[in-house]
Structure 1
Amino acid sequence: MRIRFVTSTPLDIQRGSGTYVGIEVLARALTALGHSVELATPRVHLPVYTAERLWFNRRLRREPDFDVTVGFDMDGYRIADVAALKGVIADEARFETGLTRFTMGVQARCERLHVERARSVVTTSRYSAERARELYGLPRLPTIVPELIDLARWRSALELNPAAACSRFTVLFVGRLYRRKRVDVLVRAAAALRGRIPDLEVRVVGNGPCAAWLRALTRDLGLEGSLSWLGDVSRRELASEYNRCAVFCLPSVQEGFGIVLLEAMAAAKPLVASRAAAIPEVAPQAVLVEPESAEALAAGIELVYRSPDVGAAQAKAG
């Protein structure tokens, strides 16, 4: 079967994040099964990502040589047979502000057209399926197909990229720095834990619109020695960060799935995360805490710190 994937998600782990990982793994899996997969991606890059997506989609045309065209998120809304939603943009936009919220609103209108026109709609979690039906007025729930990771490839990366020796209790976050990720809650939790975990270090992988604000918050709380802002990293560096951490933390209030949870589980790391969105579906064994509460998040991290058996049980379950 000849399959066409349509996506404007940056095809690298630094900027494409979990969406890129999901698309890449699916393409390789289908190829391994004997199918032909071709990616249609933007050739013209513009300073504003939403403008780039709109221009890319405007120029797309149907290609009769393909058996099926799969459009990811809003991409392919004029031509795709299958609308594959990695997240529901209208849901994500609810948690953002300012320009980010406005541009995501534009994208959400295109995504709505996508799910209305496509012959089939696929989401990665029940949470996303329900949000898509609610926010886009779908007559029934989309098909749910959970995300994949290439376990063999990821475990090989973990083995080949050990962490440097570290005596500190390290908490890791990986993701794009949007407001919905609630990294500010993690920063405030770190402040609350200063006297309870003296050797605490929080390491943040990723970049995004909130980066400057979060760094300023770190300085205001006097946490420069406890937080490390690593920005975008390579796959090898990412594997090393997972190896280094004592616990993985995801304080997000909106996740369509959360591939980072699978990566942390595959690295046998304990998880502390918000009881929100698709997170309980993907990682029911995690220490799940009240969303938007720095104290609840701090208590969850401290539980793993003081009770190694909790982390060991999670690692076994993962």
Structure 2
Amino acid sequence: MKRVVFAVPGSLDTPTGGYAYDRRIVAELRQLGWDVECLNVGEGFPSPDKATQSAARSLLLKVPDGQPIVVDGLALGVLPDVAGEVASRHPLLGLVHHPLALEWGLSAERADALHRSEQAALALAREVVVTSPATAKLVASDYGVPAERITVARPGSDPAPRSSGSRNEVPHLLSVGAVVPRKGFEVLVAALATLVELPWRLTIVGDLTRDPNEAARLQASISQHKLTGRIAALGAVPSKRLAGLYDEADLFVLASHFEGYGMAYAEALSHGLPVIGTTAGAIPDTVPQEAGLLVAPGDAGELAGALRRVIADAELRRRLSDAASAAARTLPTWQQSAAIFATALEKLA
């Protein structure tokens, strides 16, 4: 049986798209006959303290020599020295969801340090898996990884019933993403604050504990704009509840400043929802023009204009919804994604 160690920072149950990707790839690799050992290398990444870094090093170096190791980029990118030790004893595969330096809200100094650290770590990986063609281009052009060492394994998509919608005259907007600066919730609230004369309500679903300061800023912005009765930030919810919210939604909106893929956008397509998003990162790879309106990231005025068009025009929503359902049928399955991931693992030999 083919064996691999899959190293992740923290619990695989963490409610983010990156961890969801890792969970499903691990599960599907096992279905393909791989013996996958999951290794938790500690909490606090990508800003681990010295004790966490030391513990991660010890855990990785305890893996029997020669065994292939996948290290999630959230950890790998800040462990270049450890990566060097691991790569000298193991075939190493780096998994990049999105480059760490492109997290929104970082100081120029911090972003530069993360870029240099991740570039050094990726140089030591024998193979690199990324989740979109856009990220593949970035990793090649900005991080110097040769194209022949990069494999694109997009996230898979599960079949989902087409959303029923709110069935009333108040369109239900849904936004899904951890409440962190990169997801652009402050831009979304500012845009909606200019559309108070239109009928709409917004539900935000996403972890409120990842960045407590950002969660507090979101609630303050909602209150400042007097939108408390129209915007609900629920935090992370169980999958059954999220499925119900997708079914009740008329429109998906997420104003991300950057996405290495954007699994929530793909999930919205699978439910046949019109999408309003941004042109940042890999989002245009996921959302075709016919299925949504994409605007410049960080532009609240342009976002408000797109929202106004779709909220006010039920026929436009119907056309976008039909195109979203069609686009969903072209998305890869998780089985297909895992098969591509497995080819990268086999190249390690």
- Report the TM range for the smaller structure's normalisation: 0.7 to 0.9
Structure 2: distance between partners of 1:176 and 1:202:
15
The offset of 1:83, in angstroms, is 0.7
SS in 2 for 1:192: coil
What per-residue deviation string (whole Å, max 9, x for no partner) do you get for residues 31-83 of structure 1?
111111110013x6569963375344222215237742111104355226111
1:50 is matched with: 48
- Are 2:158 and 1:151 equivalent residues in the alignment? yes
User: How is 1:41-190 mapped onto 2 (pairs within 5 angstroms)?
Assistant: 41-42=40-41, 45=43, 50-51=48-49, 54-59=53-58, 60-61=60-61, 63-64=63-64, 67-76=67-76, 77=79, 78=83, 79=86, 81-92=92-103, 95-97=104-106, 108-140=115-147, 143-149=150-156, 151-152=158-159, 155=160, 168-190=170-192
Residue 130 of structure 1 contacts residue 141 of structure 1 at CA under 8 Å; is this kept in 2?
no
SS in 1 for 2:48: helix
Gaps of 5+ in 1: none
Gaps of 5+ in 2: 329-349
Aligned residue among 204, 219, 230 for 2:234: 230
- Tell me: CA distance 1:46–1:274, structure 2 relative to 1, closer, same or farther (3 Å): closer
Out of 282-291 and 143-152, give the one that drifted further.
Answer: 143-152
Structure 1: distance between partners of 2:11 and 2:113:
19
What per-residue deviation string (whole Å, max 9, x for no partner) do you get for residues 176-203 of structure 1?
22222111111011111111x22x1111
The offset of 1:204, in angstroms, is 1.0
- Tell me: CA distance 1:13–1:169, structure 2 relative to 1, closer, same or farther (3 Å): farther
- Tell me: CA distance 1:23–1:188, structure 2 relative to 1, closer, same or farther (3 Å): same
SS in 1 for 2:189: helix
Structure 1: distance between partners of 2:46 and 2:155:
30
2:215 is matched with: 211
SS in 1 for 2:193: helix
- Are 2:31 and 1:32 equivalent residues in the alignment? yes
Higher-RCO chain (CA-CA 8 Å, sequence separation at least 6): 2
SS in 1 for 2:203: strand
SS in 2 for 1:63: coil
Letter in 2 for 1:205: V
Structure 1: distance between partners of 2:168 and 2:181:
30
Out of 166-175 and 114-123, give the one that drifted further.
Answer: 166-175
2:193 is matched with: 191
2:259 is matched with: 255
Count of residues in Structure 1 that have an aligned counterpart in Structure 2 = 304
Residue 126 of structure 1 contacts residue 144 of structure 1 at CA under 8 Å; is this kept in 2?
no
Structure 2: distance between partners of 1:29 and 1:211:
34
TM-score (norm 1): 0.84
What per-residue deviation string (whole Å, max 9, x for no partner) do you get for residues 70-127 of structure 1?
11104355226111111111222xx3146xx877766555433320111111211222
Residue 247 of structure 1 contacts residue 269 of structure 1 at CA under 8 Å; is this kept in 2?
yes
Structure 1: distance between partners of 2:286 and 2:153:
9
The offset of 1:149, in angstroms, is 3.1
Structure 1: distance between partners of 2:139 and 2:130:
8
The offset of 1:303, in angstroms, is 2.5
RMSD (Å) for aligned C-alpha atoms: 2.9
Structure 1: distance between partners of 2:144 and 2:56:
23
